[in-house]
A and B are shown apart, each in its own frame.
Chain A
Amino acid sequence: MSTARHNPLNSVAAHTALIAYTLIALFPVFVIVINSFKERRAIFREPLALPDAESFSLIGYQTVMKQGNFFLYFQNSFIVTVASLFFILLFGAMAAFALAEYRFRGNMLMGLYLALGIMIPIRIGTVAILQMMVSTGLVNTLWALILVYTAQGLPLAVFILSEFMRQVSDDLKNAGRIDGLSEYKIFFRLVLPLVRPAMATVAVFNMIPIWNDLWFPLILAPAEEVKTLTLGSQVFIGQFVTDWNAVLSALSLAILPVLVLYVIFSRQLIRGITSGAVK
């Protein structure tokens, strides 16, 4: 895709708009990070000032580290996010492949049924989910969160991926069938690599809400050993006193892993290996 005409004015205008948007989007993050390195009074006196020799302080980070369980929270969040993404992508892609590839009775209805979840927030079912988790004994386990997040992410994943899978050349799949590849091999070896950009999109869309979620960890897994990072950070926010240094430090730290995951997935977003497969 190359643009035929290069109008420098257009290019400047486009970049100005993009840079402006980037600044707006990054500003809150920036404020959080700079303030996490300041002492408490400096945060309130001059929230927008950069930390200088006088106001610089690592007290927030020290509090967070002293809290002890912080690394455990990190680990919990990470396990829940990665496992949920894995299951969303695996089951979502499989369901999408079946819907896109096979003609069977009720295909359309099944597709609509699976997409219905996009419109109905899963939180409506919180009470029922909690009862279910209690009776299955999954309360206060990471599995409770992983299962709920997988269910929450599947509808959109199926919806997006089935659209992309319809675009994968039928000839390619048929060539695989004639060469004796099983349907599973066709799915994993031919189709999945070609819809990788779509998978990355789905992963990014799902990752952030899962990482940031407070609702389900609070209800389904509030025990100390399964607390997620977002829930763990709440100890610093009290009804009367809030340890802002610690909150901001915890939030700054929480950004890092998501950033890493995003970088991994965004490489896939950009890269497409479809060229050369057909035509």
Chain B
Amino acid sequence: MTALKLDRVTKSFGRIQVLHDIDLEVEEGEFVVFVGPSGCGKSTLLRVIAGLEDATSGRVEIGGAEVTRTPPAKRGIAMVFQSYALYPHLDVRGNMALGLKQEGQPKAVIEERIAEAARMLELQPYLDRRPSDLSGGQRQRVAIGRAVTRQPQLFLFDEPLSNLDAALRMNTRIEIAQLHRALGASMIYVTHDQTEAMTLADRIVVLRAGRIEQVGAPMELYNNPANRFVAGFLGAPSMNFLAPVTEAPEGAVLGIRPEHLRPEAEGPIRGRITHVEQLGGDTNIVVDTRTGEQATIRMFGQHRARVGEEIAMGFDPAHGFLFDAEGRRLA
């Protein structure tokens, strides 16, 4: 069964169209991540799915039922927000219970579901506390717990990790992945962080300017990007775009990932080192090429390199991509 089906969904605010003909299907149990630069429409798309915004045209189906005009509470969804959005006047238990009370669930069921969610997210010690007495990470866990208790057909996450610090972000990311495995629920997750997208997703949807650029499994997108935008957006450090070193049409650009470049005495790409980053496990070398671009080489392990040195680089042609002047993939 499909958990979510979008059929030619568009959304306009006044004269400005922010979503153009979005078609998408999410399978039951799938973890789909919407990723794209800010202003690409990914949050708007999530809000349309949630029912917080009405689609200007097109159809939204959740769990096989059309919900295009259904209010959010009746769509069988639960949402986790970037700013947690906990009810400040309720304690943790009350926060998790509110949605169920509104649904008219019996008390025993509410208690049971809260206990279950609290166990899963290790929230038992905090059940009687107010949100203001919790740390950021705990608050986000409560927000996730609130979503879990609803037992929705579809979980929606709107940049849930953006307000957390780096260490907590990684832990919570792992927690969300484990939650997905434990519940086997369908989830849609919006982020601008490509690491989150790569590590969490079964499938990634790359959006730009209100259009879907490409949909696919993380490694599929990484190894086989449809265009220059997707190629440049996924991967850190991002892909190098250089002048082609072989026969190529007018205006074409060579794309090569930093880890596929290597120093080579007779390599076709030459330049001067302008910066070296020693990360211990990795070494990143930034080079200004003779053709005037900036290139990054990423090497495993620790390598000696000095700023100002001349360097020549080569790569395996199998790893090179060719894009035309409009950014479309040629090879």
Which residues of chain A have a CB within 8 Å of any CB of chain B?
169, 171-172, 174-181, 189-190, 193-194, 273-279
Contacts and interface: CB of A to CB of B under 8 A. Distances in A.
B50 A277 contact: no
Nearest to B77: A178
For the complex of A and B, the 9 pairs showing the least CB-CB separation, nearest first, are: A276-B132, A180-B73, A180-B102, A179-B99, A171-B85, A277-B88, A171-B81, A175-B85, A278-B83
B72 A178 contact: yes
Contact of A178 (B73, B84, B136): B73
A277 B136 CA distance: 11
Contacts of A171: 81-85, 158
B71 interface: yes
A275 B163 CA distance: 15
B230 interface: no
9 contacts: A172-B86, A175-B86, A178-B79, A180-B74, A193-B88, A273-B89, A275-B88, A275-B132, A277-B88
A276 B102 contact: no
A278 B85 contact: yes
A171 B125 CA distance: 26
Given A174-B47, A180-B103, A194-B88, 15 more contacts: A169-B85, A171-B81, A171-B84, A172-B87, A178-B78, A179-B73, A179-B98, A179-B150, A180-B74, A180-B99, A273-B88, A273-B89, A274-B88, A276-B130, A278-B84
Contacts of B86: 172, 175, 276-277
B219 interface: no
Contacts of B47: 174
Contacts, number: 86
A174 B88 contact: no
Interface in B160-183: 163
Interface in B79-119: 79, 81-89, 98-99, 102-103
Contacts of B74: 180
Contacts of B163: 279
Contacts of A181: 73, 98, 102
Nearest to B97: A179
Interface residues of B, number: 35
Interface string B39-62: 000000001001110000000000
B90 to A, nearest CB: 9
B250 interface: no
B291 to A, nearest CB: 46
Nearest to B78: A178
Nearest to A276: B132
Contact of A190 (B77, B87, B102): B87
B133 interface: yes
B145 interface: no
B236 to A, nearest CB: 27
Interface of B: 47, 50-52, 71-74, 77-79, 81-89, 98-99, 102-103, 130-134, 136, 139, 146, 150, 158, 163
Most buried by B among A175, A178, A273: A178
A177 B88 contact: no
B83 A169 contact: yes
Given A180-B99, A276-B88, A175 B73 contact: no
B81 A174 contact: yes
B102 A179 contact: yes
A279 B51 CA distance: 24
A275 B132 CA distance: 6
Given A178-B99, A276-B134, A278-B83, A189 B89 contact: yes
Contacts of B71: 177
A104 to B, nearest CB: 13
B131 A178 contact: no
Contacts of B158: 171
A278 B87 CA distance: 9
Nearest to A175: B85
A189 to B, nearest CB: 7
Interface core residue of B72, B82, B131, B150 (most chain A CB under 10 Å): B72
B79 A175 contact: yes
Given A177-B73, A194-B88, A279 B132 contact: no
Contacts of B139: 276
**Which among B50, B77, B86, B163 has the greatest number of chain A C-beta atoms within 10 A?**
B86
A174 B72 CA distance: 9
A172 B88 CA distance: 9
B187 to A, nearest CB: 15
A174 B52 contact: yes
A267 B20 CA distance: 51
A92 B81 CA distance: 29
Nearest to B158: A171
Nearest to A193: B89
User: Residue among B50, B51, B83 with the most chain A CB within 10 A?
Assistant: B83
Given A178-B72, A180-B99, A279 B83 contact: yes
A277 B132 CA distance: 7
Contacts of A180: 73-74, 99, 102-103
Contacts of B136: 279
Nearest to A278: B83
Residue among A169, A175, A177, A276 with the highest chain B CB neighbour number at 10 A: A175
B121 to A, nearest CB: 17
B289 to A, nearest CB: 44
